[in-house]
């Protein structure tokens, strides 16, 4: 075989109920004595956060908490986090929470020892080589949702408020040194957040699986991740205390983020600008766009999706069977079928299409995703039309 490809897989993961109790030992193992626990505002006073913080303090670590983070983090949040990190003389970060807390924790650790501005490290070409690797602090990641998979990622997403665009900051050493996946931390998630984050994990797996390129490792992880979501997400939404389902969703989230190094696609290319302009939930936005992007890509993914439908043992075969399954799953867990149900109007449709074309995720779509294509998919998601 003459194909050449570069493959990378993630970091050490401690998986299982109750393992957040190992957080202090994990910090010490990575040489962290003064961790800054970074999370979002909504989690700042939550019992799971207070428990994690107490684990650190009881072990004698010089821990402090930073939680001034919006659901879609912006550069001002990062500046505030860096000020807290430096004034507290911290030597590492515990990134705690969903995508916003995890991404911001990684970004604070990354920027803590850099001298160049943040936007110099956007995920473009080899811009990551501009960073000083010695200035990147160690990170322990503790996810409290099952969706983004940022705990096993080498990048952070942040909104540039000057342009209302989401940008990806990348460096290989942004990967957390160690991840603690404790499904008990997700038990208190509301049904809507469980659904949105779970569908985010599903979209990561699905878009990675459909992305062009030779990466059978990512493909295998993606299809098994989708099987886990299909089986576990409805259970987790119905019964928040179903620890087995919660654990399967945490695994699927990490699997999606591992798989999408192969690529993403139109769902993310559209949800990034919509999220930046309308502050919608990222996973729920991906899920709303999902059937429309699938229908757009059908001419080149039909055979691949047919294999996926067989693996998932769906009652109806082929692409049509898989599309029906997606629509049923969305309805079962409460995903809106159209953008207006998310609070998204069409007044900025052209701008969103232009932003989608420029989004890095667009390059992984199975069909070219220029602004005309993005505009057509956006219009379909506005009206609810499933005609290609």
Q: Return the CATH number at 176.
A: 3.40.50.1970
Residue 1 clears pLDDT 70, i.e. is over it: no
Q: For the segment 274-332, what is each residue's pLDDT rounded down to a tens digit?
A: 998 999 999 999 999 999 999 999 999 999 999 999 999 999 999 999 999 999 999 99
What pairs with residue 159 in β-bridges? 74, 166
* Measured distance CA(188)–CA(276) in Å, rounded: 27
Confidence of residue 5 (pLDDT cuts 50, 70, 90): low
Q: For the segment 120-174, what is each residue's pLDDT rounded down to a tens digit?
A: 999 888 999 999 999 999 999 999 999 889 999 999 999 888 887 888 899 999 9
219 in the same domain as 111: no
Q: According to the model, what pLDDT value does residue 2 have? A: 59
196 in the same domain as 172: no
Residue 4 within any structural domain of the chain: no
Residue 7 within any structural domain of the chain: no
Determine the Cα angle at 303 with ends 301 and 305, to 5°: 65
Q: According to the model, what pLDDT value does residue 3 have? A: 66
> What is the total residue count of the chain?
388
Look over the chain and give the mean of its residue pLDDT values, rounded to a whole number.
Answer: 94
Which residues, including other chains, have CB under 8 Å from residue 306's CB and lie 6 or more apart? 317, 318, 319, 322
Residue 195 within any structural domain of the chain: yes
* Measured distance CA(44)–CA(65) in Å, rounded: 8
**Which residue range is the domain that position 113 belongs to?**
12-186
Q: According to the model, what pLDDT value does residue 86 have? A: 97
Q: Which one of 153, 186, 219 terminates a domain?
A: 186
195 in the same domain as 120: no
The answer to whether 138 and 30 have CB atoms below 8 angstroms apart is: yes
Distance of CA 13 to the CA centre of its chain: 17
Q: Which one of 137, 166, 186 terminates a domain?
A: 186
Q: Which one of 169, 186, 203 terminates a domain?
A: 186
The answer to whether 282 and 367 have CB atoms below 8 angstroms apart is: no
209 in the same domain as 175: no
Q: Return the CATH number at 245.
A: 1.20.1090.10
Residue 221 within any structural domain of the chain: yes
374 in the same domain as 332: yes
Residue 2 within any structural domain of the chain: no
Overall number of domains in the chain: 2
Residue 1 within any structural domain of the chain: no
Q: For the segment 55-105, what is each residue's pLDDT rounded down to a tens digit?
A: 999 999 999 999 999 888 999 999 999 999 999 999 999 999 998 999 999
Structure tokens at 333: 């867990």
207 in the same domain as 172: no
Q: For the segment 352-387, what is each residue's pLDDT rounded down to a tens digit?
A: 999 999 998 999 999 999 999 999 999 999 999 987
173 in the same domain as 200: no
301 in the same domain as 348: yes
Determine the Cα angle at 367 with ends 200 and 307, to 5°: 65
Residue 54 within any structural domain of the chain: yes
Residue 6 within any structural domain of the chain: no
The residue among 108, 123, 102 whose CA lies nearest residue 185 is: 102
Q: Is 231 left (phi over 0), alpha (psi -120 to 50) or beta?
A: alpha
238 in the same domain as 168: no
Pairing of strands 155-160, 165-170: antiparallel
The answer to whether 338 and 382 have CB atoms below 8 angstroms apart is: yes
175 in the same domain as 115: yes
378 in the same domain as 297: yes
208 in the same domain as 177: no
């Amino acid at each position: 075989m003459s194909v050449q490809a570069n493959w990378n897989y993630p970091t050490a993961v401690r998986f299982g109920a109750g393992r957040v109790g190992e957080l202090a030992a994990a910090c010490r193992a990575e040489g962290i004595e003064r961790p800054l626990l970074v999370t979002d505002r909504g989690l700042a006073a939550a019992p799971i956060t207070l428990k994690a913080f107490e684990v650190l303090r009881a072990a004698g670590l010089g821990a402090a908490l930073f939680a001034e983070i919006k659901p879609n983090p912006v550069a001002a949040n990062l500046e505030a986090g860096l000020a807290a990190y430096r004034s507290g003389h911290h030597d590492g970060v515990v990134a705690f929470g969903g995508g916003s807390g995890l991404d911001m924790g990684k970004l604070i650790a990354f920027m803590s020892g850099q001298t160049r501005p943040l936007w110099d490290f956007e995920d473009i070409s080899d811009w990551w080589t501009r960073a000083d690797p010695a200035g990147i602090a160690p990170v322990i990641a503790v996810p409290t949702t099952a969706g983004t998979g940022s705990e096993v990622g080498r990048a952070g997403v942040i909104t540039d408020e000057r342009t209302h665009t989401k940008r990806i900051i990348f460096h290989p050493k942004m990967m957390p040194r160690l991840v603690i996946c404790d499904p008990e931390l997700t038990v208190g998630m509301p049904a809507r957040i469980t659904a949105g984050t779970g569908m985010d994990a599903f979209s990561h797996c699905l878009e990675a699986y459909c992305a062009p390129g030779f990466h059978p490792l990512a493909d295998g992880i993606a299809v098994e991740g989708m099987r886990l979501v299909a089986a576990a997400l409805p259970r987790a939404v119905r019964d928040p205390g179903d620890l087995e389902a919660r654990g399967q969703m945490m695994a699927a989230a990490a699997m999606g983020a591992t798989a999408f190094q192969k690529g993403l696609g139109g769902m993310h290319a559209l949800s990034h600008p919509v999220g930046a302009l309308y502050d919608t939930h990222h996973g729920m936005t991906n899920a709303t766009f999902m059937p429309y992007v699938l229908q757009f890509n059908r001419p080149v993914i039909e055979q691949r999706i047919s294999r996926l439908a067989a693996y998932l043992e769906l009652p109806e075969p082929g692409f049509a069977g898989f599309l029906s399954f997606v629509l049923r799953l969305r309805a079962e867990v409460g995903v809106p079928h159209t953008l207006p149900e998310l609070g998204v109007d069409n007044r900025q449709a052209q701008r969103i299409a232009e932003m989608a074309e420029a989004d890095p995720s667009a390059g992984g779509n199975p069909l070219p995703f220029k602004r005309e294509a993005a505009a057509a998919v956006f219009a379909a998601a506005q009206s609810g039309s499933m005609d290609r």
